[in-house]
Amino acid sequence: MTRLADYQNRFKFIRFRREDGILEMAIHRDGGTALWDFGETGIHKELGDAFYEVAHDRDNKVVIFTGTGDTFLDSLDYGDPTGSIALTPQFADRLYKEGKDLLHNLLDVEVPVIAAINGNAYIHSELPVMADIVIMADHARIADKVHFQGGAVPGDGVHVIWPMLLGPNRGRYFLITGQELDAQEALRLGVVGEVLPGDKLMKRAWDLARDIMQKPELVRRYTRVALTQHLKRRLLDDLGYGLMVESLAMMSAGKD
């Protein structure tokens, strides 16, 4: 069985701490706000691998997923000063595998997951809103800035999650226009469950986790299983297809 000691110090961009069965995992860059990158050892790969390890550690009873500082994730690191990416079939194949791991492995975490959105979430914002309980700092905004607005097909899961949360028409509007939802609008639309001052966010996340811990273990675990089954089914049907058309469009960019 996987143990925390096996992976706690394995990941460069993810920080873990566990207390009384509650695992907090926070994305970061050098201890500060996280940056998203697609390097072969970057956070795109690390996070999918980390969810796998967390899912296979039976000592994790509740998971809190959050960022670092006052921003969750709003900036990209392209890995070189020109900001260029070699859009080769090999690169697309790697992103296809990592993209599936990222979302499938998150849903394979069979304990309740709490997301604490500590600030602006503009990149892979579908990840925190896939949690069972989503709470948000009052200064935070949520959007999808990196796909259609960045010249890419919104196909790596956002095309499934956001229309499910917002409804088909509003979800498509959100993805195509890059619409930003402030915390109160996200609450009104049902994207998040609570909005709190930033300095009270993590305390609330831990209070919720400790409350969940009062329930019997199999109640906790099987509630997560029951409530994510439909998400797993939708992603199994549509995620691979979305990743493939996203990659194809990226490789064809500039060749029209």
- Say how far apart CA 205 and CA 115 lie, in whole Å: 8
Contacts of 111 (CB under 8 A, 6+ apart): 60, 61, 62, 63, 220, 221, 224
Structure tokens at 215: 């329930």
CA–CA dist 101, 95 (Å, integer): 10
How far is it, in rounded angstroms, from Cα 84 to Cα 101? 24
Residue whose C-alpha is closest to residue 107's, from 250, 9, 217, 227: 227
Structure tokens at 26: 């926070």
Quick one: which of 146, 170, 149 has its CA closest to 157?
A: 146
How far from the centroid of its chain's Cα atoms is residue 224's Cα? 17
* 40 noted as active-site residue: no
DSSP letters for 106-172: HHT--S-EEEEE-SEE-SSTHHHHTSSEEEEETT-EE---SSGGGTS-S-SSHHHHHHHHH-HHHHH
Which residue in the list 53, 126, 180, 217 is annotated as catalytic? 126
Rounded Cα distance between 256 and 247, Å, is: 15
Residue 60: what residue type? N
- Positions marked catalytic: 126
